[in-house]
Amino acid sequence: MAREMLKGNVAIAEAAVRAGCEAYFGYPITPQTELLEYMSSRMVELGRVFLQAESEVAAINMVYGAACAGVQVMTSSSSPGISLMQEGLSYIAGSEVPCVIVDVMRGGPGLGNILPSQSDYFQVTKSAGHGDFHPIVLAPASVQEAIDFTMLAFELAQKYRHIVIIAADGQIGQMMEPAELPPMKDYPLPRPNWALTGANGREKNVITSLYLNADEEEAFNNRLQKKLALIRSVEQRSDEFATDDAELLVVGYGTAGRIAMSAVQLAREKGLKVGLFRPQTLYPFPEQRLSELAEQVDMCLVVEMNAGQMIEDVRLAVKDSIPVEFYGRMGGNIPMPDELLRVIERYYAYSAVLA
Amino acid sequence: MTIDIIPIEHMQVVYDRPEALACNHTHYCPGCTHSIAHRLVAEAIDELGLREQTILVAPVGCSVFAYNYFTVDGCEAAHGRAPAMATGIKRVSPDKTVITYQGDGDLASIGIAEIIHAAARGEKITTIFVNNAIYGMTGGQMAPTTLPNQKTTSSPSGRDIASTGAPLKISELLAQIDGAVYVVRRSLHDVKHIRQAKKAILTALKVQQAGLGFGLVELLSTCPTNWGMTPVDAMHWVETAMMPYFPLGDYKIADSVHKLG
Amino acid sequence: MAQGTIVIDQDRCKGCELCTTVCPQGVIAMDMMALNAKGYHPAVLQDPQHHCTGCAICAVICPDVCITVYREIPQPRKNKLEEVTSHGA
């Protein structure tokens, strides 16, 4: 397959099609709508299911239904829409049926704006709905990663019968850059035996998140927590750059991580021993690798496009062994490389004083 | 004249539990017509031979455990979202029979958008809408279908139309929507009407089998416990109080449905 | 009139009394002397004269499917010609 110029939203949509996505239900919301538009022709062209719902509330419940019927299913939205989907996500988590959700994050809170942001970190990793559950969250920093993580999302959703959220942002969704699409996977997958396909020659299947009995509900929750522990132990993913001799470690994901990479390269050119750690899974947060790196460096500088959310997970991973500093931009402003370079230089000097 | 008594062994069973109705005891209150509605749906499923390809979407409300009372595949929708969930199921399983079973709080209040849009899309699903003019499971609050001046735990001095609006007439409302090809209101308050309701449910399932569009059967029902009446009086109240406000009838029968015969 | 009878699942009955209000023969009553497993007075068939015709009206209104209805198996009526010829032969 050759590389081609692809828009993030379109690349994610086509990757989902190639991953074997059988049904897509969505609702228009900037900055993700091109994904829905692309699906409206591509899915129909392939004889698969596409439906624009009357709201994100309806869309997520259509996803829930299709997932219960045993097909690979997906929706996409942006921050305010994801807020509307939280009830549905909680029901889906409470029934352990697989699905893929794309959140192309935008400025918030409230109507906010349509510019890129990372202010939904907590929402997607920690409070995607009521109850003790966490979706798996993948954070692409490029159109290529958006494609690769979409393929991965469908695998992980099936593997763990879990919700997988692709946490992109308006930048990744809207920009175009060369990327390569994988070949089409075999389609459709046979429907699993737990699915609602009609009690034909078998006992009936029931899929519910209702456990009136406390012991049964607790047993279910224990099962869920055990699965999350397994996910935390085997599915942590991250990328890093120039960390071998780094004294200052910049930590950033998605667009913020990508721009921080340029700043770190600029700093290296100026002889500063700076490295980059870029989480690719936001849940499970890559604490194993980060805690190892924390032993080699003197300071962490967390860069985000919000008021500071992932920084809490960084602190948990680093356990106060070293200072963890923060630089963030909000409202849809994206930090520029030279802007980050000045911040890096300031903290680099400060950490030298501390050391 | 003496008649020879026929021992039971020489008699045939003429009325028994339908196969699609599970035999566990229901949690419904004595005299609650949800149970009758369940039995009619199960009988219709059996008669059309649909048991092994039916998927039931249960709501949140008194019938939240509906999937325990049928021997068909079932799932639990979030409150009011059954039509959306059923849409998701039907779109990826067009050959299956998908039924939503919903109460008036679930369908007419929190789920009004979902039911209207399922109808507007002509979703090929069947909705059994149980209207008992109250929120039963949560202990008797006012519902969109609560009658004017009807006392409930959240309209203690009687429903005040000036502040809470008038009861929603769902069948009349949905009948305006093109995608809805079969919308009727029946009642469960006596044997004659139960038999009519059974016929309507059968027709609604045939409409789905033929893929003609969205079908809904509204069933006026009782809630003895929260109405504070005996089951017998509650049946009577449906006739004297509810039916004048919710007239029975066929509110939409598209030509395509007539042709079904 | 055909003969019939019913069997009421005593422990499934919730004592709602609906069946007693519809039986055309008036042969179903509430057993006020008994309590079933749920603590209700169950409905009971009181039909010493065998008036029950197995019409199933009680079962149609019973919310909890407590009632199984039985009815006499109708004997095929011999038609006149067959009767005459069988005697004559």
Could you give the CA distance from residue A55 to residue A64 in angstroms, rounded to a whole number?
14
Task: Judge if A171 and A302 occupy the same domain.
Answer: no
Report pTM: 0.96
Task: Judge if A264 and A229 occupy the same domain.
Answer: no
- Three-state SS sequence of chain A: CCEEEEEHHHHHHHHHHHHCCCEEEECCCCCCHHHHHHHHHHHHHCCCEEEECCCHHHHHHHHHHHHHCCCCEEEEECHHHHHHHHHHHHHHHHHCCCEEEEEEEECCCCCCCCCECCCCHHHHHCCCCCCCCCCEEECCCCHHHHHHHHHHHHHHHHHHCCEEEEEEEHHHHHCEEEEECCCCCCCCCCCCCCCCCCCCCCCCCEECCCCCCHHHHHHHHHHHHHHHHHHHHHCCCEEEECCCCCCEEEECCHHHHHHHHHHHHHHHHCCCCEEEEEECEEECCCHHHHHHHHCCCCEEEEEECCCCCHHHHHHHHHCCCCCEEEEECCCCCCCCHHHHHHHHHHHHHHHHHHC
Pairing outcome for strands A281-283 and A248-251: unpaired
Choosing from A185, A216, A234, the residue where a domain stops is: A234
Name the residue range of residue A300's domain.
239-354
Among the partner-chain residues B15, B26, B232, the one whose CB lies closest to the CB of C64 is: B26
- Indicate the residue type of A265: Q
The residues of B whose Cβ lies within 8 A of any Cβ of C are 3, 5-6, 8, 10-17, 21, 25-26, 28-36, 39, 190-191, 194-195, 224, 230-232, 235
Q: Rounded mean pLDDT of B95-113? A: 98
Could you give the CA distance from residue A233 to residue A241 in angstroms, rounded to a whole number?
23
- Concatenated DSSP letters of C22-87: H-TT--EEE-TT---TTS---EEE--TT-------HHHHH-TT--EEEEEEPPPPPPPHHHHHHHH
CB contact under 8 A, B15 and C63: no
What pLDDT digit, counting tens, does each position of A249-273 carry? 999 999 999 999 999 999 999 999 9
Which DSSP category does B146 fall into?
P
For residue A200, being part of any structural domain is answered with: no
What pLDDT digit, counting tens, does each position of A84-111 carry? 999 999 999 999 999 999 999 999 999 9
Sheet containing B97-103: order of strands:
A206-207, B73-76, B54-58, B97-103, B126-131, B214-220, B180-187, B249-253
Report the CATH number at residue B157.
3.40.50.970
For residue B13, being part of any structural domain is answered with: no
Residues of chain B contacting residue C72, judged by C-beta atoms under 8 Å apart: 6, 10-11
CB contact under 8 A, B13 and C68: yes
Provide the pLDDT confidence category of residue A15 given band limits of 50, 70 and 90.
Answer: very high
Q: What's the number of domains chain B is made of?
A: 1
The pLDDT of residue B7? 86
Task: Judge if A181 and A324 occupy the same domain.
Answer: no
What pLDDT digit, counting tens, does each position of B38-70 carry? 999 999 999 999 999 999 999 999 999 999 999
B72 pLDDT above the threshold of 70: yes
Q: What's the number of domains chain A is made of?
A: 2
For residue A107, being part of any structural domain is answered with: yes
Sheet containing A299-304: order of strands:
A238-241, A274-279, A248-251, A299-304, A324-328
What pLDDT digit, counting tens, does each position of B147-158 carry? 999 999 999 999
More confident residue, B8 or A17: A17
The residues of C whose Cβ lies within 8 A of any Cβ of B are 3-5, 7, 12, 14-18, 21-22, 40, 50, 54, 56-57, 59-61, 63-65, 67-73
To test the contact with chain B by mutation, choose from A21, A46, A68 the residue with the greatest count of B C-beta atoms within 10 A, namely A68
* Distance (Å) of CA C81 to CA A331, C63, C74: 99, 48, 20
Provide the pLDDT confidence category of residue C1 given band limits of 50, 70 and 90.
Answer: confident
For residue B21, being part of any structural domain is answered with: no
For residue A314, being part of any structural domain is answered with: yes
To test the contact with chain A by mutation, choose from B46, B93, B99, B114 the residue with the greatest count of A C-beta atoms within 10 A, namely B93
Task: Judge if A230 and A277 occupy the same domain.
Answer: no
The residues of B whose Cβ lies within 8 A of any Cβ of A are 51-55, 57-58, 64-65, 67-68, 70-78, 81, 84-93, 96, 113-114, 117, 121
The burial of B128, by beta-carbon neighbours within 10 Å (0-12 exposed, 13-18 middle, 19 or more buried), is given as: buried
Q: What's the complex ipTM? A: 0.94
To test the contact with chain B by mutation, choose from A55, A72, A208 the residue with the greatest count of B C-beta atoms within 10 A, namely A208
Residues of chain B contacting residue C42, judged by C-beta atoms under 8 Å apart: none
The residues of A whose Cβ lies within 8 A of any Cβ of B are 22-23, 25, 49, 51, 53-55, 57-59, 61-69, 71, 73, 87-88, 91, 95, 196-201, 204-210
Could you give the CA distance from residue A262 to residue A258 in angstroms, rounded to a whole number?
7
Is residue A248 within 8 A of residue A348, CB to CB? The reply is yes
Q: Rounded mean pLDDT of A170-186? A: 97
Residues of chain C contacting residue B12, judged by C-beta atoms under 8 Å apart: 70-71, 73
Is residue B188 within 8 A of residue B221, CB to CB? The reply is yes
To test the contact with chain C by mutation, choose from B14, B188, B225 the residue with the greatest count of C C-beta atoms within 10 A, namely B14
Name the residue range of residue B225's domain.
27-258
More confident residue, B239 or A351: B239
Could you give the CA distance from residue A71 to residue A85 in angstroms, rounded to a whole number?
19
For residue B18, being part of any structural domain is answered with: no
**Three-state DSSP class for B139?**
coil
